């Protein structure tokens, strides 16, 4: 199959179409008009088969997740997603209609879910399936939520359950079926929460490499420390069955959750909860002057080592 026919067959009508796209797939570049009073927010993430998703992951899940992890980065800035560019490096055995149709069904579903248009990309051969997605979004001028705004006294919050994807990955790597597989395969970017937190959160990040490590990025950028109350971190019942150490390895050091971790002043948190009664946020700790992270379990200080997600499985 020629590169040309792959492109037009599978990529052209897979996603949402925006009126603001002046020129989409088919020319050397795409052309888009930019909404007034907005800033362009952009990011790229690369996923390599066997490294970022276990061998055996469905083509659908691979397509879905490659886009989802990038939309999650936009969510963590409070941006509204607009479009993606999709770099696909395919080994010979996957350059066929069966793989591409399922892969693009995954890409299409998440793009439709968030009103995202595939405006271009690149397709090449490669020894290992590698996907590089560039995501573009917009945020009202000056309102993007960065990592460097956490202040002493801010409340540290997460937007949902933590540790599920890591628990699922461990079970799958052990050859077991996991009831949490969809948390690993089909992460849900927390777009509505991210956008709602514009003007409220002082710093934000999405949890991709583990709560502990990603919190570290906020703390370093902001020049502060934090205390975390382990028992306040929401998780799934499956993890509550595990021994303490294992459970919190998944929660603090597991990756791939794509929940939002943010800091917010106590006053703004109260305002947020009043103005958005239908959006759940979970306070799990506080920003402190002292550098580093202290852990509490039932109000007692305990030692816990932050190692972060291991990229080299
Ligand atoms: P060029 O040689 O100019 O890079 P290509 O033949 O690579 O052109 O691509 C032709 C058109 O198809 C371009 O508009 C490009 O954006 C689009 N395209 C190629 N690969 C993909 C892909 N994986 N996803 C979406 N669009 C793609
Ligand atoms: Mg090209």
- Residue 13: pLDDT band by 50, 70, 90 thresholds? confident
Q: What pLDDT score was predicted for residue 285?
A: 98
What CA–CA distance (Å, rounded) separates 152 from 150? 7
Q: Is 119 left (phi over 0), alpha (psi -120 to 50) or beta?
A: alpha
- 241 C-alpha to ligand 2 centroid (Å): 49
What CA–CA distance (Å, rounded) separates 269 from 284? 13
- 131 C-alpha to ligand 2 centroid (Å): 14
Q: Whose CA is nearest to atom 3 of ligand 1?
A: 28
Mean pLDDT computed over 89-101: 92
Mutate which of 1, 123, 125, 132 to test ligand 1's pocket (most atoms within 8 Å of Cβ)?
Answer: 123
Mean pLDDT computed over 121-142: 96
Please name the residues in contact with 117: beta carbons below 8 A apart, sequence gap of 6 or more.
15, 16, 17, 18, 21, 24, 82, 83, 84, 111
Q: What pLDDT score was predicted for residue 258?
A: 97
Q: Whose CA is nearest to atom 5 of ligand 1?
A: 122
Mean pLDDT computed over 259-266: 98
pLDDT of residue 6 exceeding 80, the answer is: no
**Inter-residue contact 161 to 233 (CB < 8 Å):** no
pLDDT of residue 310 exceeding 90, the answer is: no
Ligand 1, residue 27: give the atom nearest the CA: 14
Neighbours of 313 (CB within 10 A): 10
Q: What pLDDT score was predicted for residue 309?
A: 64
Q: What pLDDT score was predicted for residue 9?
A: 79
Mean pLDDT computed over 152-157: 98
pLDDT of residue 213 exceeding 90, the answer is: yes
Binding pocket residue ranges, ligand 1, CB within 6 Å: 3, 7, 11, 25-28, 86, 88, 118, 120-123
- 29 C-alpha to ligand 2 centroid (Å): 9
Q: What pLDDT score was predicted for residue 313?
A: 42
Mean pLDDT computed over 47-59: 89
Closest-approaching ligand to the CA atom of 121: 1
Query: Could you tell me what percent of the chain has a pLDDT over 90?
Result: 88
pLDDT of residue 224 exceeding 70, the answer is: yes
Closest-approaching ligand to the CA atom of 89: 1
Mutate which of 106, 121, 129 to test ligand 1's pocket (most atoms within 8 Å of Cβ)?
Answer: 121
Q: What pLDDT score was predicted for residue 144?
A: 97
- Residue 312: pLDDT band by 50, 70, 90 thresholds? very low
Mean pLDDT of the chain: 94
Q: What are the CA-CA distances from residue 12 to residues 85, 90, 98, 107, 135 (Å)?
A: 12, 18, 17, 12, 17
Q: What pLDDT score was predicted for residue 254?
A: 94
pLDDT of residue 147 exceeding 90, the answer is: yes
């Amino acid at each position: 199959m020629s590169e040309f026919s792959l492109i037009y067959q599978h990529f052209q009508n897979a996603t949402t179409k925006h009126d603001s796209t002046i020129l989409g797939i088919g020319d050397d570049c795409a052309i888009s008009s930019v909404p007034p009073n907005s800033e362009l927010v952009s990011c790229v993430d690369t996923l390599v088969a066997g490294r970022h998703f276990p061998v055996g992951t469905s083509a659908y899940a691979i397509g879905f997740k490659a886009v989802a992890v990038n939309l999650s980065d936009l969510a963590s800035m409070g941006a509204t997603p607009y479009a993606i560019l999709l770099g696909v490096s395919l080994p010979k055995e996957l350059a066929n209609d069966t793989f591409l149709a399922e892969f693009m069904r995954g890409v299409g579903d998440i793009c439709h879910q968030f009103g995202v248009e595939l405006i271009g990309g690149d397709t090449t051969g490669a020894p290992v399936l590698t996907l590089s997605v560039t995501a573009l979004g917009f945020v009202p001028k000056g309102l993007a939520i960065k990592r460097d705004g956490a202040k002493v006294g801010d409340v540290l919050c997460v937007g949902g359950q933590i540790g599920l994807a890591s628990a699922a990955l461990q079970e799958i790597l052990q050859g077991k079926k996991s009831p949490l597989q969809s948390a690993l395969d089909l992460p849900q970017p927390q777009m509505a929460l991210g956008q709602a937190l514009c003007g409220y959160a002082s710093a934000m990040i999405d949890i991709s490499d583990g709560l502990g490590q990603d919190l570290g990025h906020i703390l370093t950028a902001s020049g502060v420390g934090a205390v975390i109350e382990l028992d306040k971190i929401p998780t799934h019942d499956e993890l509550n069955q595990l021994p303490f150490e294992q459970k919190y390895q998944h929660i603090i050091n597991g990756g791939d959750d794509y929940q939002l971790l943010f800091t917010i002043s106590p006053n703004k948190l109260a305002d947020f909860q009043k103005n958005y009664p239908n959006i759940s946020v979970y306070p799990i700790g506080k920003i402190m002057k002292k550098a580093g992270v202290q852990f509490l379990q039932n109000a007692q200080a305990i030692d816990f080592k932050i190692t972060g997600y291991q990229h080299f499985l």
